[in-house]
Each structure stands twice: as C-alpha cells, then as structure tokens.
C-alpha cells in the first residue's frame, strides 16, 4: 500500500506513524527535493538547502516535528522551526522566504491520536504524485549524510506568525469594522493567529474552541462540528460565525440565525465579488464533482463558468494551475484563492467572506441567497466491488434516474479510493425525491456488484 495518501502521509501517531518513519521520510525528502535545478544552483553557490517546519498543537506533533527537523538537519538542510502554525501559513512562508521546501505536521480535521506529514515544494505548492513516489522510493535507498560543518542547523522562526498576519491583512479589499464575528478555532493551529487577525482587521471577535491542550483538537468543535458555533452566534447576537478545522485550511460559516453556509455557498459569494472587481480569471470557478447543482445554476446566472474536477483539493489546485484560474474549492470548505495562497486557507477565506459583508453592507444570509442549495443525499453502499461500477445494469439504472430527474437534479456514482464501497449521490429539487432515487440506485448497486 502506498505511503502517501490524498494529502501527505497520515496515520495513528506512534502506530504506523513513528518518529523513525518521520525521520527517514525527512531524509528522503531532502534527497529528492535537493535535486531540482534551483536547489542545485543554491548548493553550487555554497548555500545549504533551507526548509520551514511547522505543526498543529496535537501532542504527537512535538516528537514528530522534532524527528522531521532532525532528519532534515542530518541531511544538511537548515531548518526554520515555525512552531504551531496553520498549514496555509506554512505554505505561504515557504514562498515568502524563498526557501527550498517545507513540512507541516498535522492530521487536519482528524482526532488527536492521529497525525500526518504534509510536504510542500518550493513556492509552497503540494507535491505531484510522481515526486511523492520518488520520495517513498528514496526512503529505502542509501543516504550519504554530511558530517562536521556540513550538517544543517535548526533555528526558531521567530516572526513566522507576524509575517502571515501581515500578508492576510494586506489581501483584504475592505476592513471588517462594525461586524461581530464568532470564531471557532477547533482547538487547533489557528487558535492564536485567527482571533488576532480578525481583530486587527477591525472585527469585534468572540472566540470559542481556542484552548488547545494537545488532546482536544477537533473534539466536538471546528468545521466538522458546527452546532456549538451556531449556538454561540445566536447566543451572542453576532453577525457571523467562522469555523476552522485543526490545521485551518478549511472555512465554513454560519449566519446570524445559526444556519450553515457551506463551501459551495462561500465560493458563490466570493466568485461574484471577484468577478465584479475584475479578479476572477476568465470568469471561471473550479469545483469538484460533489459541488451542489445550485452552485452551477447560480454561477450560470452570473456568466461564470464552473470547471469540474475529481474530489480532493489537490485536483482543484492542479486544474487551477493549468488554467491560471483564481478561485476554486470544495463543498467541505477548502477554498483556494490563488492570488494570495497556494493551498486552501481557512483564515483567508473567512476574512474575505466577512469583508464582503462589510463591503456590501449585507448580512451573510442575504449574500448566501445568491445560491439555492438543492437537497442532496449521499448513500455509501458497502460490500461491493468498486472496480465494477461501470457494470451495464448499474449504468442503465443511472441513466434512468438521470432522465427521471431531468434538469431538476443529477446523479453521481463514485467508487471509494480506499474501501470496497461505492458512494451514490443524488440531488433533486425535493428532498423526498432525492432520497427515493438514491436508495433505489443503491439497491441496484448492491444487487449487481456485491462481493
């Protein structure tokens, strides 16, 4: 089974993800990423490779980031230790400092016992599959480690957070004065930097989920648990709630009534705003096949084209890079604004969403009404052969369901990338219709391709 998943290396800390693995992975990364043209030029000029290393606040991040830093320094790489910092901040600093690469130790929205290692290349971009494969191969190969003065140094990156805050504030088209924001930081990496930045931007801020103890990250709070945020917004009479996940690369929101505003709605608001201000490249938004039909309808109404990709922010990023597009993302809240970031950035997204409220003088509910969310149901059909999703009987059933829904809905069958299951997603103008079609399709899938 490949070491790298859809977003780096992830697993139970001190289970499969050990300090030894982190150290070896870091050494292999130094070997592979030290072979590029810019890295070779740096070495030819007598300069050592440099990398930024950061982590989220879960306790295992302490020993894993130490192992990563040790692996890099033992390979002759100078390490800038940024401490606890959001993933998008790490990506930004790699580009801002013009270093060779960076490593983020985080398991994002996973619970505290898990952890992960994300590697970014020069410029703060995620690695393509072929480079990850080369790193994995290099882990079992020989390593010619330097000695004496050639080993790397590990230094504290003292102003890492300040650089990131200045960058975020400089991106804003409008200040947030007069808006009361409740922030849920998921007891994660944004617990310090997000409240500071929103306050500096002019917002009145109430904070929940910002007391990380290493064990409570994502525990009943954050973008995957919005009930507490919704209740806090209503209780405090706030204008908007913003939720991050553990490493703050996601943003979801709730309006003043506690109603959830998801990633599709956030992208719709930002896309129209950017189009009006001349910042939406080629009037195009990049979204995954899971984005709601309502997003497509809303964008069409505003003359905005939607480019679709497979599920996963890496695929969104790839398409954005290919076309030079400026906005893309996922329903889950990974929103990428390529003018200011190389990856999903929950702080950047939240700030720009609230800035749009301030710029237009509208509530979030009013802004979100730009898009009608079609009822959507997702049914996971387990115990089936995912490789046979193209079965003639299954595809006939999909065609019949698609014809039945017409222009008022859509059907998507998606095999899991890791388990023997097929996901059946149906959208329709009416929830009961969506439910009925989805379960009928699920029955066909179960009957036709069971293991």
Return binding residues for Mg(2+).
108, 245, 247, 249
Return the biggest CA–CA distance within the chain.
72
The answer to whether the CB of 59 falls within 8 A of the CB of 144 is no
Angle at alpha carbon of residue 243, lines to 265 and 411, rounded to 5°: 40
d(CA 9, CA 105) in angstroms, rounded, equals 9
Which residue blocks in 204-303 are alpha helix, DSSP H? 227-236, 263-276, 293-301
Q: Strands 114-121 and 125-126: what pairing?
A: antiparallel
Burial track 159-170 (b if 16+ CB lie within 10 A, e otherwise) = ebbebbbebbee
The answer to whether the CB of 346 falls within 8 A of the CB of 88 is yes
Angle at alpha carbon of residue 276, lines to 273 and 282, rounded to 5°: 95
Q: Rounded to an integer, what is the distance from CA 106 to the centroid of its chain?
A: 12
How crowded is residue 423: how many other Cβ atoms within 10 Å of its Cβ? 19
Q: Which of 113, 7, 99 is nearest to 47 (CA)?
A: 99
d(CA 143, CA 141) in angstroms, rounded, equals 7
Three-state secondary structure readout of 81-105: EEEECCHHHHHHHHHHCCCCEEEEE
53: Cβ contacts below 8 Å, ≥ 6 apart: 65, 68, 69, 72, 79, 80, 81, 82, 102, 103, 104, 105
d(CA 140, CA 68) in angstroms, rounded, equals 17
d(CA 10, CA 305) in angstroms, rounded, equals 35
E-strand stretches of 46-136? 50-55, 78-84, 101-105, 114-121, 125-126
**3-class SS of residue 310:** coil
List the end-to-end C-alpha distance of the chain, in Å, as a whole number. Answer: 21
List the catalytic residues: 108
E-strand stretches of 14-58? 50-55
Question: Residue positions in the annotated binding site?
Answer: 108, 245, 247, 249
The answer to whether the CB of 114 falls within 8 A of the CB of 105 is no
């Amino acid at each position: 089974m490949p070491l790298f998943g859809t977003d780096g290396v992830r697993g139970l800390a001190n289970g499969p993800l050990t300090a030894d693995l982190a150290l070896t992975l870091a050494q292999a990364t130094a070997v592979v990423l030290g072979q590029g043209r810019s890295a070779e030029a740096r070495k030819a000029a007598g300069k050592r490779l440099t990398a930024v290393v950061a982590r989220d606040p879960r306790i295992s991040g302490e020993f894993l980031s130490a192992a990563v830093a040790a692996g890099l320094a033992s390979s002759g790489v100078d390490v800038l230790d940024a401490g606890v910092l959001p993933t998008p901040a790490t990506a930004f600093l790699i580009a801002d400092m013009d270093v060779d690469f960076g490593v983020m130790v985080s398991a994002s929205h996973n619970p505290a016992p898990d952890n992960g290692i994300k590697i970014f290349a020069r410029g703060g971009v995620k690695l393509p599959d072929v480079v990850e494969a080369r790193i994995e191969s290099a882990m079992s190969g020989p390593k010619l480690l330097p000695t004496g003065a050639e080993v790397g140094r590990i230094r504290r990156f003292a102003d890492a957070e300040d650089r990131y805050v200045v960058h975020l504030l400089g991106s804003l088209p409008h200040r947030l004065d007069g808006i009361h924001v409740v922030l849920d930081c998921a007891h994660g990496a944004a617990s310090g930097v997000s409240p500071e930045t929103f306050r500096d931007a002019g917002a009145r801020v109430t904070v929940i989920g910002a007391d990380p103890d290493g064990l409570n990250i994502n525990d009943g709070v954050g973008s995957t648990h919005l009930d507490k945020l919704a209740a806090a917004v209503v209780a405090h009479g706030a204008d908007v709630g913003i939720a991050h996940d553990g490493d703050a690369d996601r943003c979801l929101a709730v309006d003043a009534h506690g109603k959830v505003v998801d990633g599709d709605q956030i992208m719709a608001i930002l896309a129209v705003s950017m189009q009006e201000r001349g910042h939406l490249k080629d009037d195009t938004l990049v979204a995954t096949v899971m984005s709601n039909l309502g997003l497509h309808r809303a964008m069409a109404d505003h003359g905005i084209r939607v480019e679709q990709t497979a599920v996963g922010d890496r695929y969104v990023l790839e398409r954005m890079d290919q076309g030079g597009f400026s906005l893309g993302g996922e329903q889950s809240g990974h929103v990428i604004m390529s003018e200011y970031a190389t990856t999903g950035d929950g702080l950047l997204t939240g700030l720009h969403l609230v800035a749009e409220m301030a710029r237009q003088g509208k509530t979030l509910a009013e802004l979100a009404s730009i898009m009608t969310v079609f009822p959507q149901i997702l049914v996971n059909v387990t115990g089936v052969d995912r490789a046979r999703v193209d079965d003639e009987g299954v595809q006939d059933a999909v065609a019949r369901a698609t014809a039945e829904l017409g222009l008022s809905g859509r059907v998507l069958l998606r095999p899991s990338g890791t388990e023997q299951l097929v996901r059946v997603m149906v959208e329709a103008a009416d929830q009961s219709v969506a439910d009925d079609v989805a379960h009928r399709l699920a029955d066909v899938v179960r009957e036709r391709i069971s293991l």
